[in-house]
Amino acid sequence: MNHKKYDLIYCDPPWDYKNKVSNGTAKNHYPTTSLFNLTHIPIHSIASDNAVLAMWYTGNFVLEAIKLAEAWGFKVRTMKAFTWVKFNTLAWQRIDKAIKNSELFDHHDLLELLDAETKMNGGNYTRANSEDVLIATRGNGLQRISASVKQIVFSCLGEHSEKPWEVKNRLEQLYGDVNRIELFARDMSQGWDAWGNQCPNNSIELINSHFICKE
């Protein structure tokens, strides 16, 4: 059986929301998976002895994200490696228009416009407009090769649950040219292997609870 080990594993798990409205919205776009089933995906079998896991999670899945990382053989080091501040899909058009029409007279106008263009999601306390990536390590993890990678990512919303490409770019800057894979991927990215039921060309296959590298 052919095994390839990955130093950097990046993923956006298809969380199964307990909230029927949120879960229904998600299932309209992609299949969701229970925490129990996620924990039984043998990610540990494709991870190097010293590896990093970068995982997306939302505010109502903090504990689940920690449990999932631990089930895969990783220890969480930070819950806020990256924070994506979500702008509305067409925010860039309105911001460009405001600049072109000289509607911004000082930094207060700019900050007010940016605040107005952040995505208004739900929330039990405040309205959520960001999403986070945790970093967890296996063994000694990976050595950081750049000390200038920033946490906050500003980006407009794309397709449902689509994450900004900039996060993968910053992970490359942070850890360099290592064996890396995106799990639950929808498409291929240059320099990254991929696995996901929506990905047209998977690098590995899950057969009988075992990952097998494709030739």
Q: Walk me through the domains of the chain, giving residue ranges and CATH numbers.
A: 6-83+131-152+161-213 (3.40.50.150)
pLDDT of residue 215: 61
Residue 23 pLDDT grade (very low, low, confident, very high; cuts 50, 70, 90)? very low
* Average pLDDT estimate for 56-61: 93
Three-state SS for the chain is CCCCCEEEEEECCCECCCCHHHHHHHHCCCCCECHHHHHCCCHHHCEEEEEEEEEEECHHHHHHHHHHHHHCCCEEEEEEEEEEEEECCCHHHHHHHHHHCCCCCCHHHHHHHHHHCECCCCCCCCCCCEEEEEEEEECCCCCCCCCCCCCEEEEECCCCCCCCHHHHHHHHHHHCCCCEEEECCCCCCCCCEEECCCCCCCCEEEECCEEEECC
Average pLDDT, the chain: 90
Residue 14 pLDDT grade (very low, low, confident, very high; cuts 50, 70, 90)? very high
* Average pLDDT estimate for 16-21: 64
